[in-house]
Amino acid sequence: MAALVELFHFHSSPILQRRSHVPAAMAGSGEDRRRRMPHVLTVAGSDSGAGAGVQADIKACGAAGAYCSSVVTAVTAQNTVSVQGVHPLPEDSVRDQLRSVLSDMAVDVVKTGMLPSPGVIKVLCDSLREFPVQALVVDPVMVSTSGDRLTSHSTIAGYRNELLPMADIVTPNLKEASALLGGMSLVTVADMCTAAKEIYKFGPRNVLLKGGDLPDSSDAIDVLFDGENCHELRGLRIKTRNTHGTGCTLASSIAAELAKGSSILQAVQAAKSYVESALHYSKDLAIGHGPQGPFDHLFRLKAHDLNSDRKPSFNANDLFLYAVTDSGMNKRWGRSITEAVKACLDGGATIIQLREKEAETRNFVEAATMCLEICLSYGVPLLINDRVDVALACNADGVHVGQSDMPVSMVRKLIGPGKIIGVSCKTPAHAEKAWADGADYIGCGGVFPTNTKANNLTVGLDGLKAVCLSSKLPVVAIGGIGAGNARSVMETGVPKLKGVAVVSALFDRECVVTETRRLRSILLEVAAATK
């Protein structure tokens, strides 16, 4: 064995040296055109059942569009029943693997999983000092999701003293957080915030404390402490036995999003939504006979077969010209809902909301089903205002709710992770909550006074700006907007403002196509001028 290792060193060193010079030598040459892929290196244990560990990391990164190389720290024998054996690799082997990858492959982000000894942690920290990367994501694997202890107590000090000070984000579950904090009891969300702040003192730039095991909670609540704020992130608790590897997957998915250029907040939100979707799609999967099965990381490859999610992810640019119907207006002008929808699609609307306050349920479902067919043929999403039941009945693309409608977290539970949820917000506090609750976009208004919605508070352009500046979600402006003032709205140029939502300026007019086209050309002009 020793001879083999020596042979490896002898043959590999010159190759490593040459390769490590390739990227710098390529700068400015024709080789620049080689396509780069976001690259995550996972430093973790192998799971023979492939639900967690290195295998989960590779699949999760692949699903996010990132390349994932792997340094194996231990080989575990495990299945859906339990962990039957853990065989740590020698520190020298871990060091060799790290050098092989980091010296050659332009890694963007390193993600860690099982680090079986303080020695391996030290080897990793030394390697990261020698080959710095853009970000370090630490999943402090100490106890498997099945409850098996995976590392010795002595390793915890290594995490605290060596690795966490180098981490951009650390993602403990409740048991791991408690272990890092010497056995602190964590039973409430307030405890979680306190614990996240304590862990932050070890040096990571962000702490994501996962509350999946929190007692008495119907939601999956995580807290993210970024050194200033403790954000409560609510997600869906998917009822399934197939949760093996969720921690590894979440951390890898965060790493992949960071490698693609996301901020920490965006990366965490995207990763949470990916894990939720994967669990949802895999909830009835039957692999293994134990209590905890793996899930399907690559479900999106098959999503079209599952016939339930034609929009795997929301495109914020769809908010550009948002048409919101009103049956009263359309009736006055002698057109049906479907005629109105077809007309605004012909004029270039990019997303439609059926806001039919007076419609009887049966008529509403029938009209929504027909409108969905039409929208499908234009490739434009169709949302339903207020009525989650109607959205479910016709399999619409999503729902728009206001502050006094069903709460976003409940809507999400009912319509599932792949659908779009919009929420009306008038203040930065509303916007923060919308994001934490898992909405996809914000409708902010009334920007101007309107007759379409009774007793609507006007927030003005300043209110719109305040919401947009604080929002982590894309925003569409609404209320009294039409061809005469859309320019002034979009020229605010605030980040996150993606478009305008309009009712009367399209539907309380004789020709919907003409009005939609007129508005669209104004929006396009502003977009071209501010490019």
Ligand X SMILES: Cc1ncc(COP(=O)(O)OP(=O)(O)O)c(N)n1
Contact residues for ligand X (CB under 6 A)? Answer: 322, 324, 353, 355, 385-386, 400-402, 405, 422, 424, 443, 445, 453, 476, 478, 501
- Report d(CA 427, CA 412) in Å as an integer: 22
- Report d(CA 421, CA 264) in Å as an integer: 22
Query: Which of the listed partners (Mg ion, ligand 3NM, ligand X, none) does 502 bind, with a CB threshold of 5 to 8 Å by partner kind?
Result: ligand 3NM
> Which residues have C-beta within 8 Å of that of residue 346, sequence separation ≥ 6?
513, 516
Q: Determine how many CB atoms are found less than 10 A away from the CB of residue 526.
A: 16
**Residue 200 or residue 322: which is nearer to ligand X going by CB?**
322
Residues with catalytic function: 210, 243, 245-248
Q: How far is the CB of 504 from ligand X (least distance, A)?
A: 13
Q: How far is the CB of 449 from ligand 3NM (least distance, A)?
A: 8
Residues 117, 88 contacting (CB under 8 angstroms): yes
Q: Which stretch binds ligand 3NM (CB under 6 A): 93-101, 102-110, 170-178, 475-483?
A: 475-483
For position 481 contacting ligand 3NM by CB under 6 A, the verdict is: yes
For position 407 contacting Mg ion by CB under 5 A, the verdict is: no
Query: Which of the listed partners (ligand X, ligand 3NM, Mg ion, none) does 480 bind, with a CB threshold of 5 to 8 Å by partner kind?
Result: ligand 3NM
Q: What angle do helix axes 460-470 and 428-437 make, rounded to 10 degrees?
A: 40
Query: Which of the listed partners (ligand X, ligand 3NM, Mg ion, none) does 322 bind, with a CB threshold of 5 to 8 Å by partner kind?
Result: ligand X
Query: Which of the listed partners (ligand X, Mg ion, ligand 3NM, none) does 481 bind, with a CB threshold of 5 to 8 Å by partner kind?
Result: ligand 3NM
- Report d(CA 402, CA 357) in Å as an integer: 13
Q: How far is the CB of 82 from ligand X (least distance, A)?
A: 49
Taking CB under 6 A as the criterion, the residue among 438, 443, 474, 499 binding ligand 3NM is 443
**Residue 226 or residue 405: which is nearer to ligand X going by CB?**
405
Q: How far is the CB of 405 from ligand 3NM (least distance, A)?
A: 11
SS3 482: coil
- Report d(CA 459, CA 456) in Å as an integer: 9
Assigned token pair, 307 = 């016939």
Binding-site size, ligand 3NM (CB under 6 A): 17
Residues 473, 440 contacting (CB under 8 angstroms): yes
**Residue 24 or residue 454: which is nearer to ligand 3NM going by CB?**
454
- Report d(CA 451, CA 506) in Å as an integer: 14
Q: Determine how many CB atoms are found less than 10 A away from the CB of residue 459.
A: 21
Instruction: Indicate the helix (H) or strand (E) that contains 368.
Output: helix 361-378
Residues 434, 395 contacting (CB under 8 angstroms): no
Residues 482, 512 contacting (CB under 8 angstroms): no
Taking CB under 6 A as the criterion, the residue among 453, 496, 498, 520 binding ligand 3NM is 453
Q: How far is the CB of 419 from ligand 3NM (least distance, A)?
A: 20
- Report d(CA 460, CA 457) in Å as an integer: 9
Binding-site size, Mg ion (CB under 5 A): 3
Q: How far is the CB of 315 from ligand 3NM (least distance, A)?
A: 22
Q: Which residue has the tokens 């077969």?
A: 305
Which x/- pattern over 374-403 shows residues binding Mg ion (rule: CB under 5 A)?
------------x---------------x-
Q: Where on the chain is the footprint of ligand 3NM (CB under 6 A)? A: 324, 424, 443, 445-446, 450, 452-453, 456, 478-481, 502-505
